[in-house]
Amino acid sequence: MDEPNTDVIQGTLDMLILKALSLEPMHGFGVARRIEQISRDVFKVNPGSLMVAFQRLERAGLLDAEWRQTANSRRAKYYSLTRAGRKQLGVETAEWTRRAAAVARLLRAES
């Protein structure tokens, strides 16, 4: 039996990162775990893709980052949403909802 595909859908990683950070600042591992937990392990986040996305979102002004100590006394870069990041999350969420509804209509359509 084939393993189910757990890759994040192309073009949605940024939105999922913004959503994960909408509740509280987190480090990269925390963001990946939150996405996996909330999706009930449907999505697995590739660490390399995550780091590239963090850099892109930070350059775009959607995230702020600072080095902090973790609960187990390690240094980690913590990310938080900027005001622009919160606005972008709203835009991307609305667009995703619109597209998901269109796909649902197509799947319900009779052949």
- Tens digit of each residue's pLDDT (9 = 90 or more) over 96-106: 999 999 999 99
Spatial distance between the Cα atoms of 69 and 88, rounded to a whole number of angstroms: 28
The mean pLDDT value for 18-37 works out to 96
Whole-number Å distance between alpha carbons of 60 and 82: 10
> How many whole angstroms separate alpha carbon 82 and alpha carbon 96?
21
Domains and CATH numbers, the chain: 13-108 (1.10.10.10)
Dihedral of CA 78/61/52/7: which sign? positive
The pLDDT of 50-78, averaged and rounded, is 95
Give start and end residues of each alpha helix (H) in the chain.
13-21, 28-38, 47-59, 83-108
The model's confidence at residue 6, banded by pLDDT at 50, 70 and 90, is low
